[in-house]
Amino acid sequence: MLNKVSVGVRNLQKYRLILGNELIDELEKLAAELKGIRICHVNSTQFGGGVAELLSSYVPLVRNLGITMDWQVIHGDRPFFTVTKSLHNALQGGDSSLIRSKEALELYETQSKANALEMDYNYDVFIINDPQPAAVRYFSDNTHAKWLWRCHIDTSEPDEEAWNFLHTYLKHYDAAIFTMAEFIPRDLTVPIIATMAPAIDALSAKNMALPRGLCREMTENLGIDRARPLILQVSRFDPWKDPFGVIKIYQLAKERVPGLQLALVGSLAADDPEGSEMYAAIHTEADKDNDVYVFTNLTGVGSMQVNAFQTACDVVIQKSIREGFGLVVSEALWKARPVVAGNAGGIPMQMTGNLSNYLVQSIEGCADKVVYLLKNPNIAARLGKEGKENVKRNFLMPRLMRDELSLVKRVLEA
């Protein structure tokens, strides 16, 4: 059997204090209409990266509405996840050499068949996240359920061969969900195509309000000098997140802000074999400078510590080159931190209004904006406040619950 992740139930009612009653009342009405429906999310890891982060809050909040929702995780060994990471990269327009090999595609199919045999099919609706488990629908003989494919990555300019390969499996779905309309490949043929942005959980250990003084103490205990400025990037160790670019940005900014410190906080995800190699390379680079810190979940920097870093730091960087959404941007904005971020994929939708002036393309441009914000704390504080409002309006869990449950209802009625 595939593993089911134990996430319990979380109290949705607390969101009334943040968002008022209207949306939560609407969710309760939707839940009554979906009474008795059993929904299951499927992905490829229970830890590391945005999808696991999202599901670990989303599933227990939906359960609080009285809806049956579970989360199954597919199996795979390192060669399988090497293939799926290549597929992921190629779908984002990156290197596609590996997925051109017949062996790689066969490996993907064989493992997908094995996963399909191990799934618990006792559900009315499956929501399959990302390319790794996408083929289980094809290899399952479950016909009574509705199947939705949820794409979390930027597929606006996919490698053609990679896309054609995946599309073979997607054709059998009842609906597909993308973060932005720009990500929908032109030739996709499924009956219903929807767009909805992901969201963060304001009540999780990652995002709950912590006093800034306490957070500064926590980061101090991890070696940071609280008397000097700190910039931060939180990301999986992945080339698309440009961690080496971030180190260069820090070096350029430090010429104008002496004493500057950089923290790179990165997790290693079970389904991302590229991570450990990049981690080693980043470590080597960081070792050359006493004011560059690298932290990971492997040494105890978990959700609460990420919260502390995001709350305590002076400026957050997210220098992504490609980005499906970038939960970390909303996480930082929710803490009213100023963010300078790559003008990529789903990031601009989180950086609207005055925040859009801090969307960057180049390393030099990013360093300039970082220095400006470090030298103008009043402007940085105003931006943080504006960002927090934007997250409250658009990127908290109840909005995503409404979007997804409404779609489930629509698919069931189709």
Q: Which residues bind ligand UDP (CB under 6 A)?
A: 49-50, 53, 206, 234-236, 265-267, 296-297, 303, 306, 325-328, 331
Report the residue number, 266 or 387, with the smaller CB distance to ligand UDP. 266
What distance in Å separates the CA atoms of residue 408 and residue 148, rounded to the nearest whole number? 8
Length of the chain: 414
Report the residue number, 49 or 384, with the smaller CB distance to ligand UDP. 49
Q: How far is the CB of 30 from ligand UDP (least distance, A)?
A: 25
With beta carbons less than 8 A apart as the criterion, state whether 145 and 123 touch: yes
With beta carbons less than 8 A apart as the criterion, state whether 187 and 167 touch: yes
User: SS3 for 23?
Assistant: helix
HEC sequence for 223-235: CCCCCCCEEEEEC
Report the residue number, 10 or 206, with the smaller CB distance to ligand UDP. 206
By the 10 Å C-beta count (0-12 exposed, 13-18 middle, 19+ buried), 327 is classed as: buried
Q: How far is the CB of 49 from ligand UDP (least distance, A)?
A: 4
What distance in Å separates the CA atoms of residue 323 and residue 331, rounded to the nearest whole number? 15
Report the residue number, 331 or 404, with the smaller CB distance to ligand UDP. 331
Q: How far is the CB of 129 from ligand UDP (least distance, A)?
A: 11
- List, edge to edge, every strand of the sheet that includes 292-296: 292-296, 261-266, 230-234, 315-318, 339-342, 359-360
Report the residue number, 303 or 394, with the smaller CB distance to ligand UDP. 303
Q: How far is the CB of 117 from ligand UDP (least distance, A)?
A: 28
Q: How far is the CB of 302 from ligand UDP (least distance, A)?
A: 7
Helix (H) or strand (E) holding 42: strand 38-43
> CB neighbours (10 Å) of residue 386?
17
Q: How far is the CB of 114 from ligand UDP (least distance, A)?
A: 25
Q: Which residues on adjacent β-strands are paired with residue 126?
A: 40, 147
Q: How far is the CB of 311 from ligand UDP (least distance, A)?
A: 12
Type of residue found at 252? L
Report the residue number, 44 or 296, with the smaller CB distance to ligand UDP. 296
> CB neighbours (10 Å) of residue 94?
16
Report which residue's Cβ sits closest to ligand UDP.
50
With beta carbons less than 8 A apart as the criterion, state whether 183 and 150 touch: no
Report the residue number, 339 or 363, with the smaller CB distance to ligand UDP. 339
Type of residue found at 8? G
Report the residue number, 116 or 313, with the smaller CB distance to ligand UDP. 313
User: SS3 for 175?
Assistant: strand
Q: How far is the CB of 296 from ligand UDP (least distance, A)?
A: 6
What distance in Å separates the CA atoms of residue 166 and residue 153, rounded to the nearest whole number? 13
**Nearest residue to 247 (alpha-carbon basis) of 194, 220, 285:** 285
Report the residue number, 262 or 411, with the smaller CB distance to ligand UDP. 262
Q: How far is the CB of 265 from ligand UDP (least distance, A)?
A: 4
- Give the DSSP letter of residue 200: B
